[in-house]
A and B are shown apart, each in its own frame.
Chain A
């Protein structure tokens, strides 16, 4: 009986943890794409100072989120994004504004791609 109870607890824990983890994954990547779109819009409107501040905020935010994601996902899948955001920050700091929109598009595409790989989908299971 003890083993059955343990198994039920384990099963419920796995399902609950899995669902919460997927919710967190979708929220995190969704927010990353939203934040990047906002910065891209600022760049289109040529508000580069504000874009620089938002990029720095996004970099710090992502570092916190990354630490949580790395508990449940392979680090290799997560670590690249911090480099891309830092690169975006670098373009703004060094006044290479032509590259900002290109960099934002790159981050958005990479985030969507990583979400596609990490999310629970039947094709990912197969």
Chain B
């Protein structure tokens, strides 16, 4: 019961809770985990001893989140602010000392970001959640079509999942503008039954990706299917 209650509370706290934790979110997560254990480990403690504090944390979390959203000053107090550790003059040793970081920590974070030397980096910033964000020097930046002055076709849209593990997702069909008739045509063309399809996706410009459970994947288009 406590597990499901905690699950619901964490979902109410928001998705960010599961990923990039700010300091106050990390503190709340730790406390919530500990509170959930109390009634589970001691049968003489009522279950409300775990539930009420978790609910209180949820309210506190929501209040803090709203305050952080509306006040930049409060946001800085609670979350801190991003700190530049490498700039155009090189490594800012005073700053990394204030962060209790060593040069080894900094180099490790740089390697994690894909840069093996500080000389490749124009700016490096330690974010409020502890991540290091790197802006490389322009000579180390990958070329883009814009740099080359190339015109590229319009980027494909996010594919809609139409069949997932044999199940038809009717809401996605509506979003993609695909009818049941079209899905049936696709399946007939490749001699497949719906339950034998692992994944079928379609993009706005009609690109289809069909992955049967026990056959190789097929990359095709709606036009091709409609033309027989």
Contacts and interface: CB of A to CB of B under 8 A. Distances in A.
B67 interface: no
B44 A75 contact: yes
Interface stretch (B21-29, B55-63, B119-127, B211-219): B55-63
11 contacts: A6-B12, A7-B59, A7-B62, A7-B63, A10-B55, A10-B58, A10-B59, A72-B48, A74-B44, A74-B46, A75-B44
B113 interface: no
B62 A74 contact: no
B49 interface: yes
A3 B52 contact: no
Interface of B: 12, 14, 44-46, 48-49, 52, 55-56, 58-59, 62-63, 66
Q: 4 smallest A-B Cβ distances: which pairs?
A: A75-B44, A7-B62, A10-B55, A7-B59
Interface of A: 3-4, 6-7, 10-11, 14, 17, 70-76
Contacts, number: 33
A7 B45 contact: no
B46 A70 contact: yes
Contacts of B14: 3
A14 B60 CA distance: 13
Contacts of B55: 10, 14
Contacts of B52: 14, 17
Contacts of A76: 44
Nearest to B65: A3
Given A7-B63, A10-B55, 8 more contacts: A3-B14, A4-B62, A4-B66, A14-B55, A14-B59, A17-B52, A74-B46, A75-B46
A6 B61 CA distance: 13
Contacts of B49: 74
A14 B48 CA distance: 11
B44 A11 contact: no
A70 B49 CA distance: 11
